């Protein structure tokens, strides 16, 4: 089509979602178009999907490659849900500066500054009561709770498990972190959850 319409020389950027069929380094559509044009292009990956890539890559760095379509740790958490105490008293919260992390290192002020901004942003978003989907609201509630904000919630049973959606991963990690002292986790699993918080 670019040849037919004589547009090859005018292409400067590509807009796409971040599925591997578009972003794959060898056979992704964006890479193939760059090869065909014989020059790099600006990649304008859909911002909605960018967060999925960040969480996916961080989780991969923390836990290694997955071997199936589901995260086994999430699946176990979901199946054990009915046996876990969901009371929100004494849940594990974000450790603010002046405290030490689990490795005995002090929490830095940069982390505190970012956490303060996120808490303010989450409270502002939550106060609008405008949520396109229930998982948006749930993620905000869990974020506010984890950062020590005041929010009245009831923890919902974990939902769908899939690699693709960043929001479900974020919700799972926050719930698992909040309830980490009540879960039967190996030291490795606890370290993974703590690193993801």
For residues 119 and 84, give the distance between their C-alpha atoms in angstroms, rounded to a whole number: 27
For the stretch 31-80, pLDDT in tens is: 999 999 999 999 887 766 666 667 777 777 877 777 666 778 888 889 99
Q: Which residues pair with residue 13 across a beta bridge? A: 42
For the stretch 138-176, pLDDT in tens is: 999 999 999 999 998 999 988 876 655 677 888 888 999
Task: Give me the numbers of helices (H) and strands (E) for the chain, helices first please.
Answer: 8, 2
For residues 196 and 170, give the distance between their C-alpha atoms in angstroms, rounded to a whole number: 9
Q: DSSP characters for 25-63? A: TTT-HHHHHHHHHTS--EEEE-HHHHHHHHHHHHHHHHH
For the stretch 115-135, pLDDT in tens is: 889 999 999 999 998 888 888
Mean residue pLDDT of the chain comes to 84
For residues 189 and 192, give the distance between their C-alpha atoms in angstroms, rounded to a whole number: 5
Reported confidence tier of residue 82, pLDDT bands at 50, 70, 90? very high
């Amino acid at each position: 089509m670019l040849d037919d319409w004589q547009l090859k020389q005018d292409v400067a950027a590509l807009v796409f979602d971040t599925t591997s069929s578009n972003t794959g380094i060898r056979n992704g559509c964006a890479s193939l178009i760059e090869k065909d044009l014989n020059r790099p292009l600006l990649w304008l990956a859909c911002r909605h999907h960018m967060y999925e890539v960040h969480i996916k890559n961080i989780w991969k760095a923390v836990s290694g490659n997955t071997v199936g379509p589901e995260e086994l740790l999430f699946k176990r958490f979901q199946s054990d849900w009915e046996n876990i105490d969901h009371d929100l008293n004494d849940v594990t919260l974000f450790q603010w500066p002046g405290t030490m992390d689990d490795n005995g290192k002090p929490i830095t002020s940069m982390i505190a500054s970012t956490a303060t901004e996120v808490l303010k942003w989450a409270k502002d978003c939550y106060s609008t009561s405008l949520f396109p989907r229930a998982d948006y609201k749930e993620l905000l509630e869990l974020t506010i709770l984890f950062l020590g904000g005041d929010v009245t919630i009831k923890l919902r049973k974990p939902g769908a498990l899939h690699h693709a959606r960043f929001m479900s991963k974020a919700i799972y990690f926050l719930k698992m972190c909040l309830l980490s002292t009540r879960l039967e986790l190996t030291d490795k699993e606890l370290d993974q959850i703590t690193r993801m918080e």
